[in-house]
Each structure stands twice: as structure tokens, then as C-alpha cells.
A and B are shown apart, each in its own frame.
Chain A
């Protein structure tokens, strides 16, 4: 069948919107990251790499960087593990399957800020459900001040975010599972392959496209985490849960626009440096059916 070709200028409207609202601001941002743009200064001057020099001498950046990477790694890993597990479960012929699918997906459509406020109450050291529940089952000694103890604060945020986004990963994996021909798994089953073998050698390889989408979206989304941290701990206690965006927010509120833009650019580079190799590696292992 001959493929129908459309004129190139059909893409101009979309391209111009993309240039105007994405490419142009990015390039302007790159320029301003090399300036001393400050709401308190009379003029804006080009200052070369001074913002970047100041930034890399700032201890808060190291904390923000490590927390962002820990958060991204943990959320990406666990979101996919939990999402895949739920998808496999929800792909089975179980009762009220659609209801469960809806319940698992629901947190994803709730605004992170709302979830944050709810979990602030859940994590409360004295009146929160988590510690109360531990007490009911006789494990009261394991109760913690989940959001205000530096040992636990970041992991509490991670757990909350996984609860929020696992349903989304589940939906993507479910979509992928629908495309796997049943005869492949059924014939393997007849041949005596166990569930684990069928999953490992048939299902998982054929889910590669869904895996790529989920992992990439997780990596990018989790490196840009902001609302959840802001509401649950605001980067605290102290700077112990500081991530890139909470740091950027505080510098913007001081009116340091050039400096803040430089931090944004560093995050942009970081997301690219992590995201592109991940995408390339995952694309390689995708198989055509």
C-alpha cells in the first residue's frame, strides 16, 4: 500500500508553538544563566560562569543533587516493580478486577499537594495512622517521626510518591500486556513452562516498550520532584530532604533570577545525562513482535 504523504508545511503550526514556548525560552534561559539578573539590581550584565562557580561551591547543591538522585532511583525502581506487579495481578481473571484497577490508579489523578497534606496527617508521630497501626499490631516500638527525623524523612516522601504513581505504571504495563498474544503464553504453559519462566522468557521481553516508557517517564518525572517534597517537609528538617526544585524555589524567592536559571540549567543537563543513556539502553532491548 502506498503511504500517503502530507506537505511539510502542515507541521509549521505545531513547530512554531514548540519553538515559541519551548525552544526559545530554553535558549533565553541559557543566556540568562550567564548573567547577574537580580530583581534588586538596576541592570543585567553578562558575568560568564560566575553563577556556575558560585553554585558548585554551595553545599546545598550537593545535598539537593544526592537527594534528587536517591529519590529518582528509588521511585523509578519501585514504581516499576510495584506497577508491574499490580499489572500482572490485574491482568488475571479475578473478581472486581475493574474496581481494583480504578482504586490503584486513583492516587495518580489526585494532585500531589493534596496527597502531601493527607500524608502529613498519616505520618504524624503521635496521631498518625502509620504509628497507630504499628501500635495496634504490637510493633509500637517501630514508630517513628517519619517526616521530621532526617533518617526517615526522604524515604517517607519516596514511599508516598510510589503510592501515588504506581497506578500509572500499572496502566501502561496493562496496556502492554494486552498486546501480548495469548497463544504464546498458553502454548508455553502446555509445554510445561512455569509462571516465572513464562514471565521471564515471554512476557517481560515483550513488555519492553512499556518498560521503556515507564522507566523514562519515571526518571524524568522523579528528577523534577517538587510538590510532594514541598508539602511534606519543605526540604526539611533543615536541608535534609532538599531537592533541586526546592533549592531553585528558594533562590528565585531571593530574586536571584540569573543564579536560579543556572541551577535550572544544571538540572536540565542532569536529566539529559541520565535520561538519554537510559532511553538508548532500553530501546536496544525492545523486540518487534
Chain B
């Protein structure tokens, strides 16, 4: 009996050991004996040797590329296929839930579980979030990265002369998207100024169509009104100096009269009955449906809606029936609000950091940039790149080319507009401008304090 127990114990131990060994030996193509760790592989890696083209790797590795599951990955997959053909290295896509993407990345950083490469929202505020100077590869002097990037997009990434993320993708935009068929039905044209916008909205209402739609239930959509209104109305008033003061807490959001006026403007639109019925239950999905069906004339929205409208109503609808204009100012058509694309980031301590840097350079090669835009068209941020654009995007490009565009304020500030959507939900309910702007301002300062930023 004792013998058989001992034998059973030995067998259990042997099976357990074999299982553990199998776990450890998994992913064998990733890293044979640790030879492809940044330090070990650095000597043979093209990045370390200063060359920009990817070469076939002696010991192919599998890189992990983390991305939000809200992103369409087709364009990336095409480039990664080309990368694998050229180098033998594979890229494994890990899509994390979009709603908690930031927190999941932060958690992975705090547990030292670094991906080799990941896509992050644009702007320097991500540097604070991820403790960039300690954790991320610095790109500002990296050869073969900045040759073709449009300068204004590059500058939006600079903080203290350093850049920790490489912008990749298309310029986004926020503003007023309008249904051209509805405008034709109501006999109106894009507005010349803000007062004109209100008059147009009234005419659309008279024509039996809802002038504006707001997705208050989904919380984030009403913020677009303020972001796009900012570049037209607030930026000219406070200038870059004012933005710098906001960054150092020398200027309070609540003290900006032009910002307060944006709250008054939104309240006026609601008071005039220019939003849809049941505005509190408005959702982004319903917005797309109502807009596509011609039941809504306009919406303050970001360019993500183009892809959604294309999915629901087809390319032809987007090409023929969707128009764009910026938030108009009191005197003119306003300034187009643009957003830099997401940024590619490489943690210094990633298992395959050297290969990830090389992959980024590979992605930036003109033929791969074109491959990206062929699969995900948008306004390019690379010189010489070509992309098929919808008329609605061409409209924005004209503003950019004429120098009448400005990067989104959120991408220029280090603290965030925390819980702004909640503030706006309350504002839609009670219409209290002073309360709303105070809460907005207080939350901004709380976030600055939470991020331990100087001046807060």
C-alpha cells in the first residue's frame, strides 16, 4: 500500500514537472534562450546598427502589438503580413477592451508586463500617464522616423524637446457634420457665422426635420460641441499663452468668458427646441440612424462617424450626402478642429524592444504608409502619402491647407477634462451655466493634482 502511494506521488510529481516544463517552453519561437531580449539582440538588430530597413532575422521572434478593440485592425494586419514576409518576425495583435484601454495599459505597465509595441491616443498627456521618461523609448532623434511626418503633427508630440510616441494614421476632425439632402430640402447652405447656423437650424426645423442630434445618454458626444467650439471661439481669445497657463494652472477654465459662452450657446440651442425629442436618451447609434435616414440635419461630431455611416448607409451615401463645416465664429466660418492620429509607443523594457523599433520604422516606409491608407483611408499625416478621401474629408483638408485648422485642445493640455460628460448630462438637465463651468473647472484642477503636475 505504502509502495503504491509512493509510486503514485512520484508519478504526480513527474507529470506536474512535465506540465510546468511545457508551460515554460511555450512560445518557443519568441525567444530562444533569451537571445532576442533587447540587450541580447541589440547587437544584431538593424535598429541598433542604425539602418532603417527591416532585414530577415536570424531567429524570428513574435512581437506583441496591443491595440484597443475599437480600432479597425485591417490596415495594421496588412503591414504586419508584409513585415513577416520581409523579416520572418511575426506580430501578434492583442485587442484590449476600448472602454478600459488606458487602465489596462497602465496596469500592464505597473506589473512590468510590457507589450513590445502599442497604440495609444495622441498627445503628450499620455507621457504623464505612462511615466514616459522612465518607461518608453524616446524617438525625437531616431533616424528614419521623422523624415516624412508633417511638422505640425510632429510638434504636437513634443514635450520638453522629447517625443515618446510616433504618430501613425490619419488626421481626425471634429465639427459639424450635416446631411446635404436635408439642407437641400430646407433650402439652406453651410453657415457663414454662428448666428447664421442658428437661423439654418430653425429653417430645418420648419422643414420638419430635427436640426441637431445629441447623444446625451452615451455621455461623450455632447463634449464635441465644446472641443470644436474651443478652436473657433476660445483659442483666438486666450492664444497659445493662455493654453500654456492652463497647463500650469495659472488660468482657470471657469475664468474664460468665451468658454462660458459656449455653455450659453448650447443652452440656447436646447431652449430653442433645436435638439431631438428625448435628448437625454440620445445615443451615438441612434444618431447615425437618424442622420442617415434624413431625420436629422446636423450633429456636432468626430470623424469616426464617417466609417459608421459608411457601414450603415454605404460609401455612396457618405460621398454624396455627408458634408462638414467647422464650428462657426461670430464673424466667419470658424476654424477646423483636427486631431493627430494615435501614437505608436515602445516600452524600453519590452522583450523585443529593438525589433519593435525596427517595426515602427518599417511601418513608416512610404510603401507601407500607402498600404495603410489603402486599407484605412483618411487625411494623411505623411508628406507624399496618398489616400482616397471623401468630399467631407476634402472639406477639412482645405481648411488645413489654408492654415485655418487647430489641434484639439485636449491634445494640447496635460491635465484632462475629467467627468466632463457627466457635467454636461447635468447641464442638459438643469441648464445651470455657473454650476456646470465651476464643476468643469474644478475637475480639471483635481486631475492636475491627481497627476502631480507642477502648479496644481
A residues with CB within 8 A of B: 38-41, 124-126, 145, 147-150, 234-240, 250, 252-256
Say whether B280 contacts A237, CB under 8 Å. yes
Of the candidates A148, A253, A254, A256, which one forms a contact with B280 in the assembled complex, judged by CB atoms under 8 Å apart?
A: A148
The reply to whether A125 and B425 contact each other, CB–CB distance below 8 Å, is: no
Closest to A255 in B: B450
Contacts of A238 in B (CB 8 A): 422-423, 425-426, 429
B109 closest partner in A (C-beta):
A39
**In the complex, chain B residues whose CB is within 8 Å of the CB of A148:** 216-217, 278, 280-281
Using CB atoms, name the residue of chain A closest to B110.
A39
When the two chains form the complex, which single residue of B103, B278, B425, B452 contacts A236, counting CB atoms closer than 8 Å? B425
Q: Which residues of A contact B217 (CB under 8 A)?
A: 147-148, 237
Sorted from nearest, which 6 A-B pairs have the closest CB atoms?
A: A238-B426, A148-B280, A237-B425, A238-B425, A40-B451, A148-B281
Q: A145-B281, A237-B428, A254-B450 are in contact. List 16 more A-B contacts (CB 8 A).
A: A38-B452, A40-B128, A40-B129, A40-B451, A124-B281, A125-B278, A125-B281, A126-B278, A148-B281, A149-B280, A234-B219, A236-B219, A238-B425, A254-B446, A255-B450, A256-B450
CB distance from B377 to the nearest CB of A (A): 33
Q: Is the CB of B447 within 8 A of A254?
A: yes
Residues of A within 8 A of B129 (CB): 40
Q: Quick check: A255 and B423 within 8 Å, CB to CB?
A: no
Pairs A–B under 8 Å by Cβ, sample size 22: A40-B129, A40-B450, A40-B451, A124-B281, A125-B278, A126-B278, A126-B281, A145-B278, A145-B281, A147-B217, A148-B278, A235-B422, A237-B216, A238-B423, A238-B429, A240-B429, A250-B419, A252-B103, A254-B418, A254-B446, A254-B447, A256-B450
User: What is the minimal beta-carbon distance from B225 to any residue of chain A, in angstroms?
Assistant: 17
Q: How far is the CA of A72 from the CA of B429 in the complex (A)?
A: 26
Query: Does B154 lie at the interface of the complex (its beta carbon under 8 Å from any beta carbon of A)?
Result: no
B binding-site residues for A, Cβ under 8 Å: 102-103, 106, 110, 128-129, 131, 216-217, 219, 278, 280-281, 418-419, 422-423, 425-426, 428-429, 446-447, 450-452
Complex interface: chain B residues within 8 A of A150 (CB): 429
Query: Per DSSP, are chain B's interface residues mostly helix, strand or loop, or mixed?
Result: helix
Give every chain A residue within 8 A of B423 (Cβ-Cβ). Answer: 238
Given A147-B281, A235-B422 in contact, is the A41-B452 Cβ separation under 8 Å? yes
Whether A145 pairs with B280 at a CB distance below 8 angstroms is yes
Residue from A39, A41, A236, A250 within 8 A of B106 (CB atoms): A39
Contact B426 A239 (CB under 8 A): yes
Closest partner residue, chain A, to B107 (CB atom): A39
* Chain B proximity of A2: nearest CB distance (Å): 30
Residues of A within 8 A of B428 (CB): 237
B406, chain A: closest CB distance, angstroms: 27
For residue B278, which residue of chain A has the nearest CB?
A: A125
Among B102, B425, B428, B451, which residue has the most Cβ atoms of chain A within 10 A? B425
Cross-chain contact of B103 among A234, A239, A253 (Cβ < 8 A): A253
Instruction: List the A side residues contacting B103 at CB < 8 Å.
Output: 252-253
Q: Report how far A203 CA is from B304 CA in the complex, Å.
A: 62
Q: Which residues of A contact B216 (CB under 8 A)?
A: 148, 237
Q: Are A237 and B426 in contact (CB under 8 A)?
A: yes
Q: Whole-angstrom distance from the CB of A19 to the nearest CB of chain B?
A: 24
**How far, in angstroms, from A167 to B452 measured CA to CA in the complex?**
48
| Least Cβ–Cβ distance between B217 and chain A, in angstroms | 6
**Cα-based distance from A103 to B418 in the complex (angstroms):** 43
Chain B minimum-CB-distance residue to A36: B452
Q: Complex formed: what's the CA distance from A39 to B451 in Å?
A: 8
A124 to B131, CA, bound (A): 43
Closest to B453 in A: A40
B429: which A residues are within 8 A, CB to CB? Answer: 150, 237-238, 240
